[in-house]
Amino acid sequence: MKEVWNNRYSDTEYVYGLKPNEFLKEEILNKKPGKILLLAEGEGRNAVYVAKLGWEVDAIDYSEEGRNKATMLSELEHVKINYEIKDLIEYIPKVNSYDAIGIFYMHLEPEKRRILFEHCINALKENGLILFECFEKEQLSYSSGGPKNPELLYSLEEIATAFIEMEFEKFSKEMIILQEGSGHVGDGMVVRFVHRSGRSFEMGIIVKKCC
């Protein structure tokens, strides 16, 4: 898979565009800048965006080509990001280190992502946030992107279980319109959430269509 992603990112085109993920943009604007970790960061569009807002950015991916393009983008925008080449299956972030962690379109096998989610929770500072948008299992019915293996897609139940000890500020399954480069285009079904470290409360699940 590393070779697949290196080949995908080797073109001069930014596969998922230069603009940040819209959900990240919406949620991060009203947050006080701190230190953020972005997993499976790819070509760096989200990392560069939050760095421009004043965040200290750690980005992780296993694609050297992705890092090369992220570096070019950060230099173009005159910001600094710390981008490391790591295999997420083996990666363990430092405990109590981050004010926020962003997970956008990271699709690992269920057991591997469960373990990584546990590490992410441990890596948050007090009142730290997890910002998440990934394809839901119904994405198999859409052609806007994402893996075709249903095990690599998410369900609301899985996310609720994985982050049960955190406070759910937002949690929804949504049909959205994706316009992220050539890689994500058209209607897509996603899980979106914002979690804050701390006690959990009774969860209300929202299922909606976003136009």
Query: Hey, what domains does the chain have and what are their CATH numbers?
Result: 2-209 (3.40.50.150)
pLDDT digits (tens, 9 = 90+) for 42-59: 999 999 999 999 999 999
How many CA atoms lie less than 13 Å away from 146 in the CB half-sphere?
30
pLDDT in tens, 63-110: 999 999 999 999 999 999 999 999 999 999 999 999 999 999 999 999
- Torsion of Cα atoms, 100 then 102 then 107 then 109, to 10°: -10
Supply the angle between the helices 45-52 and 64-76 in degrees, to the nearest 10: 30
Residue in the structure block whose two tokens are 């075709």: 148
Q: What is the pLDDT of residues 111-156, one digit of tens each?
A: 999 999 999 999 999 999 999 999 999 999 999 999 999 999 999 9
Would you say 155 and 128 are in contact if contact means Cβ atoms under 8 Å apart?
Answer: no
pLDDT digits (tens, 9 = 90+) for 21-38: 999 999 999 899 999 999
Q: How far apart are alpha carbons 148 and 151 in whole angstroms?
A: 9
pTM: 0.92
